[in-house]
Amino acid sequence: MRISTVQIFQQGISAIMAQQNKLAFTEQQLATGRRILTPSDDPVAAAQILDISEDLSRVDQYQRNGNLAQGQLALEDTILNDVGNVLQRVRELVVQANNASQSPDTRRSIATEIEARIDELLGLANTSDATGEYIFAGYQANTQPFARQGAGFAYNGDDGQRFLQLASGTQVAVRDSGKDVFMSARTGNGTFSVAADAANSGTALAGQSSVQGGFAADTYSIEFSQPLPGDPITYQVLDSSPAVVASGTYNEGDNIDFAGASIAFSGTPADGDSFAVAPSVKQDVFSLLQGIADDLNASGSSPAELAALNNAMGGALNELDQAVDNILQVRADVGVRLNHVDSQLDINESFNLQLQETLSGVQDLDYAEAISRFNLELTALQAAQQAYVRMQELSLFNSL
């Protein structure tokens, strides 16, 4: 076989170029710390790196969502704590106003503070976060949720909840609608409410109420009767039909029991006085507080007027307790969600560490092996260069 001088030179140059390419590849690996520089270096490992990188990106987004959820829930918890403080203060004022030592003037002063507390409560209900979104507006986050509307209050949001993704298949609600927080307090004792008729002229007071067994939901009327001053006071309880469901002689301090309800009465009712008993319904806390202020502003000093005020304040205390309980329930739910977020962030952090370790095992360079290979390739390059120089000396022209 004949080999031309040109072939010999080309083979030498090709050997040098091949060794230079290997050396350059190893140098780039050492500079980047990566074993795989292009997908063609290891297609299977390159696909694994792509999958792991996508998982890491998702986990990073989940962590950002979790941090955002912590901030949102912490803000809501702070506001709910302030709301609870406002309601507790109003409850203290109601107890104070219900004291027999108060006069109509002092009760009006108390009403003035309660009206200021309503404005404070409206401000808390219209709280916005750092982005300017209202946290109690449901999905209508750019609309102020609560506002005065005539003599009442309007809710302009909806009952939606904003959720954030914390992991694959795991979400957490980061907000509660104003409807659930401020418009879901139950009237009365949470099962039924008792209200004195506005025309009552006696001094009967509806006191502690409770449920015995199950309350038969209906609208009832407790009517008192005393035809002549010396006659015993009797009562009868009518349902919505109207049919008599209970009756008897009234004795101060006794409970009147019917349809699963038990209501303690004190004072002396006048002939024709009545009390309405109805199933509890939801109401907004703003109207509840406004009703208390209105009752205090309209209070008088006659026995009948004081009895009407005492009945109104007694009912208001029950309803304030229901409102506080509702706020506490929402706060408890927020606390559960905060704990969930904290736990999920820890899980995500552990998963992120595992992914990083797996990714490192797939793509990171073994420096000891790469440096040894680099030295070997450098030696091979030097040998190829020296061989090429020696090959140049084999030309026949050197012998002429």
With cut-offs at 50, 70 and 90, classify the pLDDT of residue 354: confident
CA-CA-CA-CA torsion sign (343, 345, 347, 350): negative
| More confident call, 357 vs 318 | 318
With cut-offs at 50, 70 and 90, classify the pLDDT of residue 393: low
Residue 58 maps to a domain:
no
C-alpha to C-alpha distance for 293 and 315, rounded to whole angstroms: 14
Which pLDDT score is estimated for 56?
86
Bridge partners for 314 per DSSP:
none
What is the distance in angstroms between the CA of the first residue and the CA of the last residue of the chain?
24
CA-nearest of 232, 261, 225, 229 to 245 is 261
Which pLDDT score is estimated for 377?
64
C-alpha to C-alpha distance for 352 and 26, rounded to whole angstroms: 29
Q: Which helix (H) or strand (E) holds 135?
A: none
Read off the pLDDT of each residue in 211-233 and give the average, rounded to a whole number: 92
Dump pLDDT digits (tens) for 237-296.
999 999 999 999 999 988 999 999 999 999 999 999 999 999 999 999 999 999 999 999
Residue 175 CB neighbour total at 10 angstroms: 26
Which pLDDT score is estimated for 294?
95
User: Three-class SS string for 32-73?
Assistant: HCECCCCHHHCHHHHHHHHHHHHHHHHHHHHHHHHHHHHHHH
Residue 370 maps to a domain:
no
Tokens found for residue 292: 């208390």
C-alpha to C-alpha distance for 183 and 181, rounded to whole angstroms: 6
Read off the pLDDT of each residue in 309-316 and give the average, rounded to a whole number: 94
Which pLDDT score is estimated for 24?
67
C-alpha to C-alpha distance for 285 and 82, rounded to whole angstroms: 14
Phi, psi of 19 (to 5 degrees): -65, -35
Residue 365 maps to a domain:
no
Residue 177 maps to a domain:
no
Place of tokens 């919505």: 240
Read off the pLDDT of each residue in 75-83 and give the average, rounded to a whole number: 96
Which pLDDT score is estimated for 195?
94
Q: Which residue segment(s) compose the domain that 200 sits in?
A: 194-279
* pLDDT over 90, % of the chain: 65
Residue 125 CB neighbour total at 10 angstroms: 27
Is the pLDDT at 8 greater than 80, yes or no? no
Tokens found for residue 389: 């120089």
Residue 260 maps to a domain:
yes
Tokens found for residue 385: 């260069």
| More confident call, 177 vs 12 | 177
Read off the pLDDT of each residue in 292-311 and give the average, rounded to a whole number: 93
C-alpha to C-alpha distance for 1 and 7, rounded to whole angstroms: 12
Number of domains in the chain: 1
Dump pLDDT digits (tens) for 97-145.
998 889 999 999 999 999 999 999 999 999 999 899 999 999 999 999 9
Reduced to 3 states (helix: H, G, I; strand: E, B; else coil), residue 315 is helix
**Mean of all residue pLDDT scores within the chain:** 87
Phi, psi of 167 (to 5 degrees): -165, 175
Reduced to 3 states (helix: H, G, I; strand: E, B; else coil), residue 395 is coil
Tokens found for residue 262: 């038990």
Phi, psi of 256 (to 5 degrees): -105, 120
Residue 256 maps to a domain:
yes
Residue 223 maps to a domain:
yes
Read off the pLDDT of each residue in 217-234 and give the average, rounded to a whole number: 94
Dihedral in degrees, nearest 10, Cα atoms 150, 153, 154, 157: 150
Is the pLDDT at 81 greater than 80, yes or no? yes
Residue 1 maps to a domain:
no
